[in-house]
A = this chain, B = another copy of it.
Amino acid sequence: MASGGALVFQAEQLQRFIVSALTSVDIPAGDAATCAARLVEADLRGVETHGIFRLPQYCQRIQAGGLNVRPRLHIVRENPVTALMDGDNALGQVVVTHATDLAIRKAGETGLAWVGTFNGNHAGAAATYTTRALAHDMICMYMTVANGNHMPPWGGVEPILGTNPISIAIPAGQEPPVVLDIATTVTAHGKVKLAAQRGETMPIGWMMDRKGQPLTDPKRAAEGFLMPIGGYKGYGLNVVIGMLAGVLNGAAFGRGVVDFNKDFVSRNNSGHMILAMRVDNFQPADTFKKEMDRAIREIRESEKMEGVDRIWLPGEMEYYQVQERQAKGIPLSASVVDSLQKLAAELNLVDRLE
């Protein structure tokens, strides 16, 4: 299955492998399938950092007892348009998938819904949740508190904030839907690690040192911090996302956040928020989607900068990536395949992903 240095797998094969691994560490089959689906969707979208790459780490946490394998998700407070859900320390993908589907169900009945969760875990790629609402002709918004702190407040040097991402999905007609999925830091911690491995220099703006000076040597990453997008503006956006997804739900925020890359035992208490809104509150869905198509084409067909082949809308590259990878398979790097084969051996899986 080799293809240009990478190994290529069909989505179904990765789905089966993940289910097999998760059930072997005692996750119920239904929850395993849900988690696998979100991880594979991330890989299909080309967001490898939130795909099957995470599986060994998830299994490590489960085996260390840091995650509840028999969770009872339950609603703590509820009315027709909102719900607060206790994730009971389940896999993050299980918690947020249920929360998203609840928001969609409620918004289907009322027009608009906001569901908050606490006591969850790392839930992978934000867009795998917001895109669930698109087929229902709904707009969907998602925010979460990241599972590790690598950024100080603006003017500070103590990293008590994470990459706190936001995703917003908006349906379109014949055009791909518009799907924003961004961290509020300029780059991710994973990209810094990658640059260090490759011996590369980082662009100015990715990180700063304790004096606020640009830090471009990724090997010195431990001496510095991630930077917010747009300086104090991104810091502000980062903080309000953390408060809406964390503080409002009684979930971890600030020093209460557990670094899930270092501590595999402590309860993460991750918080997430998800909001769904029917577009036909305001316009017939078909009319709205035609207007979206028009707006999308106006942007794409506007004058390009010299040397630029195409102007992309948010989420458009990922949309085409999904189509291509559904047809041709998902390439995984040799190091990811190695780590999965090692996991398969440890867990005594029949499927060795060969």
Nearest opposing residue in chain B for A81, CB measure: B112
Complex Cα gap A77–B244 (Å): 28
Interface residue from B139, B157, B229, B248 paired with A233 (Cβ < 8 Å):
B229
Stretch at the interface among A8-16, A62-70, A295-303, A321-329: A295-303
Provide the bound-state CA to CA distance between A114 and B141, in Å: 13
The proximity string for A residues 273-312 relative to B, scoring 1 for CB distances below 8 Å and 0 otherwise, is 0000101011100001001100100111011111010111
Is the beta-carbon distance between A248 and B283 smaller than 8 angstroms? Answer: yes
Say yes or no: is A265 at the interface (Cβ < 8 Å to chain B): no
A299 with B178: CB separation less than 8 A: no
**Binary flags per residue of A178-211, CB closer than 8 Å to B gives 1, else 0:** 1010111010000000000000000000000011
A313 within 8 A of B: yes
A307 shortest CB reach to chain B, Å:
8
A155-B308, A230-B230, A302-B156 in contact; A288/B247 too (CB < 8 A)?
Answer: yes
The stretch from A41-49, A235-243, A342-350 touching chain B is A235-243
In contact, B156 and A240 (Cβ under 8 angstroms): no
- How far apart sit A112 and B246, CA to CA, in the bound complex (Å)? 18
* Copies per complex of this chain: 2
Q: B310 to A155, Cβ gap below 8 A?
A: yes
**A311/B156 in contact, CB under 8 A:** yes
- Residues in B with CB closer than 8 Å to A157 are 303-305
| 8 Å CB contact of A302 from B114, B158, B182 | B158
In the complex, the answer to whether B234 meets A229 with C-beta atoms within 8 Å is yes
CB distance from A330 to the nearest CB of B (A): 24
Residue of B114, B182, B253 touching A236 (CB-CB under 8 A): B182
Chain A contributes a number of interface residues (CB within 8 A of B) equal to 77
A71 within 8 A of B: no
A305 touches B155 (CB 8 A): yes
For A160, what are the chain B residues with a Cβ–Cβ distance below 8 Å? 298-299, 302
Contacts of A178 in B (CB 8 A): 239-240, 243
Contact with B along A240-271 (1 / 0, CB 8 A): 10111011111001110000000000000000
Also in contact, A299 and B254, with CB within 8 A (given A155-B305, A236-B180): yes
- Whether B153 pairs with A299 at a CB distance below 8 angstroms is yes
A152 at the interface (CB under 8 A from B): yes
Q: Is A116 interfacial (CB-CB < 8 Å)?
A: yes
The reply to whether A249 and B312 form a contact with Cβ atoms under 8 Å apart is no
| With A155-B310, A295-B253, A304-B156 as contacts: A281 and B79 at CB distance below 8 Å | yes
Residues of B within 8 A of A180 (CB): 236-237, 239-240
Q: Please tell me if the beta carbons of A79 and B111 are within 8 angstroms of each other in the complex.
A: yes
Whether, in the assembled complex, A212 has its beta carbon less than 8 Å from a beta carbon of chain B, the answer is: yes
Of A180, A211, A231, the most chain B CB neighbours within 10 A belong to: A180
Contact: B243 with A292, CB < 8 Å?
A: yes
Nearest opposing residue in chain B for A170, CB measure? B243
Kindly state whether residue A21 has any CB partner on chain B within 8 Å: no
- The 6 residue pairs across chains A and B that have the minimum distance between CB atoms: A229-B230, A236-B314, A158-B302, A158-B303, A82-B281, A155-B308
Sampled A-B contacts (27; CB under 8 Å): A77-B281, A80-B111, A81-B110, A81-B112, A112-B114, A114-B277, A114-B281, A153-B300, A153-B311, A154-B311, A155-B304, A155-B308, A157-B305, A170-B240, A170-B244, A178-B240, A180-B237, A210-B305, A212-B305, A229-B233, A236-B314, A243-B292, A248-B279, A248-B283, A253-B295, A254-B298, A255-B298
